[in-house]
Structure 1
Amino acid sequence: MNVYVIARLTFMEASRRKILLAALILGLVFLLIFGLGFYFMINDLRKYREGIVIINTVSNFLLMAGLYVVNFLTSIMTVLTSVDTLSGEISSGTVHTIVSKPVRRWEVVIGKWLGFVVMISLYLLLMAGGVIGSIYAITGYLPPNPFLGIVFMWLNALLLLSISMWGGTFLSTLANGVLVFGLYGLAFLGGWIEQLGAFFQEPARSTALNLGVLTSLLMPSEALWRRAAHELSSPLTSAFGFSPFSSSIYPSMLMVVYAVLYLLVIVFLALRKFQQRDL
């Protein structure tokens, strides 16, 4: 019961923040521009005899571009709304009003985590559904595995949320933000190095691939996006081989399992650290 109350209060508090409002406004503006641009582009392609093939190819490529932006917006919104949820309340002393009541510390962490999970899930469904829905409404095209793709994007957001919660148990808000964005940037860089490595000759190829795998083990967020891109890409789009939206090199399901275990361990560490911290 305490977990539910804290989750509900966290969701209500997060929904009132200007950061979330800004993310919603930017997201809706993006969906409007994306839908209009896609409509006029497809309308121009309908005059070609091979229109259906071209339209499906363009639809998948633009869908991947749109979802790439959605993944980035969701990641940024997740970090900015959650980065001070524990560290800010600890530094201001607000947390004392909660833990002094008959509420266990693990209930505080799990309740806040669940509150943000609901908010992130709704935002991702709105944005990803808006991109996929716009394309389907205009062309009738659907990507190969939309459910799996969105699930992997969702796991990516939960991973960033969990790291933000963990960092908030022992770091200041600023340091926590540096930690989360630093890891996110490291994973992004490692993913690009791994993709570029596929075009190199040995031994540079093996070195680049190993660096990419190492960064994915340290922070599997980019690996989750590339797996999502693999599930959502058509064979022809994947054949391009190198772009932010698709790749000929994609993580196996074993890496996805590792990312889920990584997420669970981070949540456990957050619970343990908050339990042991002297407030």
Structure 2
Amino acid sequence: MRNALLIAELSLREAVRKRLVSVLLLLTALFLGFYLYGIVRLEGTLDQRSLEAGLDGRSLNGASNLPVIYSAMFGMYLVYFLGSLMAVLSTVGAVSGDIENGVMQSVIARPISRAQLVLGRWLGFGAVNLGYVALLSAGLLGGVYAITGYLPPAPLAATGLILLATLLLTALTVLGSTLFTTLANGIGVFVLYGVGFTGGILGSIGTFADTPTLTTLGRAANALMPTNALWLGASYHLQPEVALQVSEAARGANPFFADAPIAAGVVVWAVALTVLAVLGATQRFSRRDL
């Protein structure tokens, strides 16, 4: 385990040396500034309308505050999307990149096993990706709270599910990096991500149109790639009662938000799939002929 942690530390240093961390911090600041400026303008508009209507104020969890509520939810969806993008792009060449540029031969000649190298790569890039998502989530929800006073019902539970989705994508990308070239790996993981998103859309259409076949296909896609199911579970924790009532009235027509909590089995499967992907990556690379 010591060697794996050493590789993880080297991966973090590599991210810093390649200015990945500095670029992330800069882009995160720009994104949050842009998004929160829109929240400031929205809050000012809603306050003005409230005054014109002769109201003393708005209920933070009431229907009059739905624009702020949905803005926070869509903001967190962007966090989920950016975290997924980051998980794939930062990790796509974790192993295959070193093989293609000839660095791997000198690394594995040292007293470190291939399994430890893969595990360390996953830990290092996983730490970067999780830190990015956590920072972005805290900045967005903290900014919305500072501006409007509104905070979703269960932000920690929602953020935890998004972090799990990010960690799962990181593990799958590391696995792909031991199986394919860097380009093929990136395309393959993005296709899997698309399968999960498609599952969410099919499930929504099936529920709204009362079509069991589409609902079953959606569930199958979410079982194959549970990242979108994890986001839908997170969206449930971001909605107060008034937003859940709107979602229930829509009968699943909105594929971005769920009106029911995520099943415990899906969370367990996502954790198991993450572990299986890491174990598969270590086994595959241990037997791979360089």
TM-score bracket relative to the smaller structure: over 0.9
Matches within 5 A, 1:4-153: 4-17=5-18, 21-47=22-48, 48=50, 49=55, 51-52=58-59, 53-54=62-63, 56-153=65-162
TM-score for both structures, normalised by structure 2 = 0.90
CA contact (8 A) 2:8 2:120 kept: yes
Instruction: Call closer, same or farther: CA 1:39–1:17 in 2, change over 3 Å.
Output: same
TM-aligned CA deviation for residue 44 of structure 1: 2.0
Encode CA deviations 1:167-194: one digit per residue, 9 max, x unaligned: 1112000110111000001110111110
Contact conserved, 1:85 with 1:168, CA < 8 A, in 2? yes
Q: Does the 8 Å contact 1:64/1:245 carry over to 2? A: no
Structure 1 residue 20 displacement after superposition:
5.4
Change (3 A) 1:72 1:20: farther
1:266 to 277, 280, 284: 277
Tell me how large the CA RMSD over aligned residues is. 1.7
Aligned to 2:228, the other structure's residue is in SS state: helix
The letter of the residue matching 1:247 is: A
Match of 2:250 in 1: none
Amino acid paired to 1:231: H
1:166 aligns with 2:175: yes
For structure 1, which segment, 176-185 or 190-199, has the greater mean C-alpha deviation from structure 2 after superposition? 190-199
* Alpha-carbon distance between aligned partners in 1 of 2:200 and 2:147, rounded to the nearest angstrom: 33
Runs of 4 or more above 6 Å deviation: none
Query: CA deviation digits over 1:138-174, x for unaligned, max 9?
Result: 1222111111111100010111111110011120001
- C-alpha distance in 2 between matches for 1:182 and 1:25: 28
Cα 1:79–1:21 shift into 2, 3 Å? farther
Q: In the TM superposition, what is the alpha-carbon distance from 1:255 to its structure 2 partner?
A: 0.8
**Structure 2: how far apart are the matches of 1:273 and 1:12?**
26
The question of whether the paired residues in 1 share the 8 Å contact of 2:141 and 2:151 is answered with yes
Amino acid in structure 2 at the alignment position of 1:96: Q
Q: Which amino acid aligns with 2:235?
A: A
Question: In the alignment, residue 186 of structure 1 is paired with which amino acid?
Answer: V
1:277 matched to 2:281? The reply is no
* Structure 1: 5+ residue stretches without partners: none
- Show the counterpart of 1:212: 218
